[in-house]
Structure 1
Amino acid sequence: MGKGKSALESQKKMIELAMKITERVASSLPLVKVYVFGSRARGDYLDISDIDLVFVLYGIKDKNVFERMYLLSPFITGNVDYIVLDESEENRLPKDAKLLWSKDKGFVDIRVFLSD
């Protein structure tokens, strides 16, 4: 049994939103990788679910959680929750995290997020 049409359309819109945010962040900050986690990564989302993102940046290890959130806040729009890690902290990724973008390779094929 697959996802309903509205849930799949919602997933596509949320992934597109994450991509737009990623492009803006990458043009202004030392972004290394972006991951999707939570229900949108696992596939158990609803059409009203938010999207959870992990932004991995270079050179922010000395910043506390509030400074990191503030650094990204001008770029965040829509129903998005996010965390910010230094690249040395990538081992702290949520277990269900799926790569969306990397500095080296750009965006992954978004179909990995759209399977029903």
Structure 2
Amino acid sequence: MSDEKQPEWLDWATEERQIGQLIRESNPVWFAQVCQILFDTDPMMIRLVGDPEGYAPEVGSILRSLPQCMNAEDVQLLIFNVFTQWFTPEFAGGLSQYAETAQAVWESWKAQQQE
């Protein structure tokens, strides 16, 4: 049996998934709506996942920090940074790719706050 330590990124990803699960449990309908937004807008411009639930890890990371955003531009930067963390800067693409997704998430967030 090896005494090798798990990679640091694995610890980070595991923790992010756990936080995302707590966020999902607190508001499953809205969590699913944001998964659907990412699925529909496909910000990385490739079909990485076969259904909206495939974006659950990223959505957990986005929703965790969304309360700090003041406008759609903040959300755009947040989503871009989340995809950069979950993937790589090269794979995540450019910031401009995330504008449509950010606007949709921002509108969803504002509506959520009014409920």
- The answer to whether TM tops 0.5 is no
Structure number with higher relative contact order (C-alpha < 8 Å, ≥ 6 residues apart) = 1
TM-score by length of 2: 0.29
Structure with the larger helix share: 2
